Amino acid sequence: MTAARRGGKRIGYVRVSTLDQNESRQLEGVQLDKRFADKASGKDTKRPQLQAALDYVRDGDVLVVHSMDRLARNLDDLRRIVTQLTGRGVVVEFVKEHLTFTSEDNAMSKLLLSVMGAFAEFERSLIRERQREGIAIAKKAGVYRGRKPSLTPERVTELRARVAAGEKKAALAREFGISRETLYSYAPVNG
């Protein structure tokens, strides 16, 4: 029995890796009752909207995800999430792969999940490898500049003065829009 026949909702989950990526294209044109979106790297374990989506879905609902690599960080993570959801009566639908997993899945479905998940993991590792190679080539050619600094020199001076004045580092990091690690790289703590 499909979620639509049981009165279930279609819940979308979207994840983009960077703040400037467009999340709307991932499930564009897909009819959804509710949508959850994270802006986080796939390796990032802090995906609050994924957790919210997992908490929200109920028996009879369909969780719609653009592709397997948007849902999970690796193959083990993918299998765990899909197994937990289907065990609760939630259907998991991957748009890009044209795959749907239900609680009635058989051995072939489990095999497909493992194989397709492994391909997604392999594809991500190839992309990272090509990115590293491209950066190495650009560095050799002298055209790689690296990431743009988070703060202007004036803001760095202001930050250092305020750290020296004893202001709380966590509050400064929030105000300047940087992580505490970045704050410490700009204003190292002495002694």
What would the pLDDT profile of 150-169 be if each residue is shown by its tens digit? 888 899 999 999 999 999 98
Task: Give the single-character DSSP code of 148.
Answer: P
* Nearest to 26, CA basis, from 84, 76, 79, 71: 71
Name the most confidently modeled range: 4-18, 79-93, 100-114, 126-140. Answer: 79-93
**Which residues belong to the active site?**
17
List the CATH code of the domain at 3-121: 3.40.50.1390
Question: Average of pLDDT values for 59-75?
Answer: 89
**pTM, to two decimals:** 0.60
Task: Locate the domains of the chain by residue range.
Answer: 3-121, 153-186
- Where residue 18 falls among pLDDT bands split at 50, 70, 90? low
Phi, psi of 38 (to 5 degrees): -110, 145
3-class DSSP state of 36:
strand
